[in-house]
Amino acid sequence: MSGGVTDAPRAHALVVVVCGIPGAGKTTACEALRQHLLAGSSPTTTGRGDEADPARRVDVTHVCFDAFVAPPPDAEAEGFSPEAWKRARKDALGAIARALDRSPQTCTAGFGRVVLVDDTMHYRSMRREVQRIAGRCEAAYLQVFVDAPLDVALARNAQRRSRPVGGSSSLPRSALPDAVVARAFSALERPDVDPWGAIVIPASDGAAFDASAVWDALNARWGPATRYVSPEEEAARLRAARDASAASQAHQLDCALRREITEAAAAMRAQGASRAAIAAQVAAMNAARKQRMVEAKRKTKTHEAKGER
């Protein structure tokens, strides 16, 4: 398991994103953690080797996105509505915020609150949405990555049946098409390289999930509230990253064009061309280089304007 122990004061609540591709075992992991905590076997600690306070326990909520978003068999399948899918995800994010809103009351009663967020979240931007909610609610934020090989996830996905999820009523857990699982595997942006890091749980066929060990690791890392990044600040960060990328691409293009000019002049010199002819060719190629740079910058600005809209 990756990550370090913090010695900073802990926040009143902890949000844990449990993510991985379909069939990795995320819901199984969340349910095991939830049952472990509700059993009263895990008093909170400071994470610095102090003795646990038996009077201070955790109150846990499992927010399973499947309870809000029936996993689409395929985004291209007939009947799939992107708008409905986005609304359902918005509802799931709202459930996280509502669970955190109750945290101050539970903390004053001698409890900390843990919100387990159960979803594929294969894109970093999806996880950042949850991190932003945690920051806005002054909660700590951690990630658990259930790292399943594709063959294991496909085998588990094929065995899915209807069963209760997250304490809700029975939710259909029908198998997804193999192509959907494979696509999520290919598109996955690993959370262990996120700015927040992740506790990585290797998921191999037949391996048991050790809820006690995972909770110990989470509890040790439960530190201060994660920093809230406003949408405006995030947009500014993305613009800066795009500008840096565009500047780098423009610089590389300029260097490549200048090399072409240098090589062309050297070739003409080797063939015995006059200085005047070489100078004329270099001037013409330089003019073309400048025009290409202007066009490249114009295209970059057009793409940025479309992206901002």
How many degrees, rounded to 5, is the angle at CA 107 between CA 103 and CA 109? Answer: 125
| Distance of alpha carbon 286 from alpha carbon 290, whole angstroms | 6
Over residues 192-245, the pLDDT tens digits come to: 999 889 999 998 755 678 999 999 999 999 999 998 877 777 777 767 777 777
Q: Which CATH superfamily is domain 13-229 in?
A: P-loop containing nucleotide triphosphate hydrolases (3.40.50.300)
The tens place of each residue's pLDDT in the chain, 309 residues long, gives 444 455 567 898 999 999 999 999 999 999 999 999 988 645 554 333 334 444 446 788 999 998 886 555 455 555 567 788 889 899 999 999 999 986 544 444 445 889 999 999 999 999 999 999 999 999 999 999 999 999 999 988 888 754 444 444 344 456 788 888 999 999 999 999 998 899 999 987 556 789 999 999 999 999 999 988 777 777 777 677 777 777 788 888 888 999 999 999 999 999 999 989 989 999 999 899 999 988 887 877 666 565 544
Strand order in the sheet with 140-147: 57-64, 111-118, 13-19, 140-147, 199-202
Q: Which pair of structure tokens corresponds to residue 109?
A: 């009663």
Q: 70: closest CA among 166, 173, 153, 146? A: 173
Residues in CB range of 211: below 8 A, 6 or more apart: 29, 32, 33, 35, 36
| Distance of alpha carbon 94 from alpha carbon 106, whole angstroms | 19
